[in-house]
């Protein structure tokens, strides 16, 4: 079993985030349509950046927050595509175009608890695993370089889905909605992280009680970095100040990591015309063994 590590400490990624990536000239889209084990018609969109002939690209599977849909990821999607990373954005069960179950519309209401029971939020991790199977069969996709990103209930779900999806990296924005996944949800959350051991970045706000508590559950596990920020921002609200950081994070693991480079090495090479030697910035330590205090992002 691999033991992932953050190639750059969180503070370094934050400082590097403003570095602009080259724009992607074009992209291609493919509609995803699956039927879950319990009859939900799941819809999504796979968007791949333009790549060299026969080249395969990494892809991040996106799981949105409650009462949203796949379009909510647009601020991050554009930045991932600009870095040569594709996205598979899903409408979670009961949301957007994924609201038909066995021919009958079953859509979320304004109440989270009622919706969780009616729609079956506890089955979202299995939906994500099913989407990952479909994704790895698509032309142009590098099945070895898959990421997961989730917001709120989607953030909790991507962590639970990790053992089946086998992602390289996971982004969890304000993991919440644990009540939807059963009384032992937090224990299973820890177990899922330990079994899958991807590199995980959790963003949460100290004033967002449940998300902050869930972040604390996994913060000392191998491969996990938690950035707890001041305030009460939740889920997609982090895009305002942190979307560059998110894109750099996935770029670090799904592109530079794969080629044996680090983001800092690529950044130094782009900035200096003369050849330069840049070593990994963490010295090969696991974030669970050496904590690096994150540089605060001004809101």
- Chain segment 25-50, per-residue pLDDT in tens: 468 999 999 999 999 999 999 999 98
Give SS3 for 187: helix
Class of domain 10-271: alpha beta
Predicted pLDDT of residue 53 = 81
pLDDT confidence bin for 295, thresholds 50/70/90: very low
Backbone angles phi, psi at 254, to 5 degrees: -95, -15
Q: What is the rounded CA–CA span in Å between residue 24 and residue 79?
A: 10
pLDDT confidence bin for 199, thresholds 50/70/90: very high
* Per-residue pLDDT tens over the stretch 116-140: 999 999 999 999 999 999 999 999 9
Predicted pLDDT of residue 51 = 81
Predicted pLDDT of residue 86 = 97
Write the CA distances from 185 to 135, 197, 217, integer angstroms. Answer: 27, 18, 11
What pTM value is reported for the model?
0.82
Predicted pLDDT of residue 169 = 97
What percentage of the chain has pLDDT greater than the value 90? 74
* Per-residue pLDDT tens over the stretch 224-281: 999 999 999 999 999 999 999 999 999 999 986 554 443 344 334 434 443 443 333 3
Q: What is the rounded CA–CA span in Å between residue 177 and residue 13?
A: 28
Report the relative pairing of strands 27-35 and 86-91 from DSSP bridges: unpaired
More confident residue, 92 or 295: 92
* Per-residue pLDDT tens over the stretch 111-120: 999 999 999 9
Averaged pLDDT for residues 86-99: 98
Query: Taken in order 100, 77, 227, 192, is the CA torsion positive or negative?
Result: positive
Averaged pLDDT for residues 179-201: 96
pLDDT confidence bin for 14, thresholds 50/70/90: low
Q: What is the rounded CA–CA span in Å between residue 92 and residue 150?
A: 11
In the chain, what are the domain boundaries? 10-271
């Amino acid at each position: 079993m691999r033991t992932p590590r953050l190639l750059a400490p969180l503070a370094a990624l934050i400082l590097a985030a403003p570095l602009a990536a080259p724009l992607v000239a074009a992209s291609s889209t493919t509609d995803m349509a699956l039927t879950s084990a319990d009859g939900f018609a799941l819809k999504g969109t796979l968007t791949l950046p333009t790549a060299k002939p026969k080249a395969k690209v990494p892809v991040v599977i996106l799981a949105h927050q409650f009462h949203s849909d796949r379009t909510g990821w647009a601020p991050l999607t554009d930045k991932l595509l600009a870095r040569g990373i594709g996205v598979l954005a899903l409408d979670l069960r009961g949301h957007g175009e994924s609201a038909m179950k066995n021919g009958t519309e079953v859509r979320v209401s304004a109440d989270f608890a009622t919706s969780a029971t009616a729609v079956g939020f506890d089955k979202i991790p299995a939906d994500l695993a099913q989407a990952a199977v479909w994704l790895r069969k698509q032309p142009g996709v590098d099945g070895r370089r898959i990421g997961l990103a989730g917001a709120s209930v989607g953030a909790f779900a991507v962590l639970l889905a990790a053992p089946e999806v086998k992602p390289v990296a996971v982004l969890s924005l304000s993991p919440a909605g644990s009540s939807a996944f059963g009384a032992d949800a937090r224990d299973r959350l820890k177990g899922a992280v330990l079994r899958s051991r991807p590199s995980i970045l959790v963003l949460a706000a100290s004033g967002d009680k449940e998300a902050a508590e869930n972040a604390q559950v996994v913060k000392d596990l191998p491969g996990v970095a938690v950035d707890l920020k001041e305030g009460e921002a939740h889920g997609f609200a982090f895009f305002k100040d942190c979307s560059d950081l998110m894109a750099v994070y996935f770029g670090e693991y799904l592109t530079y990591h794969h080629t044996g480079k680090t983001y800092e090495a690529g950044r130094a090479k782009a900035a200096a015309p003369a050849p330069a030697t840049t070593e990994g910035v963490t010295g090969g330590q696991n974030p669970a063994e050496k904590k690096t205090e994150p540089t605060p992002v001004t809101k």
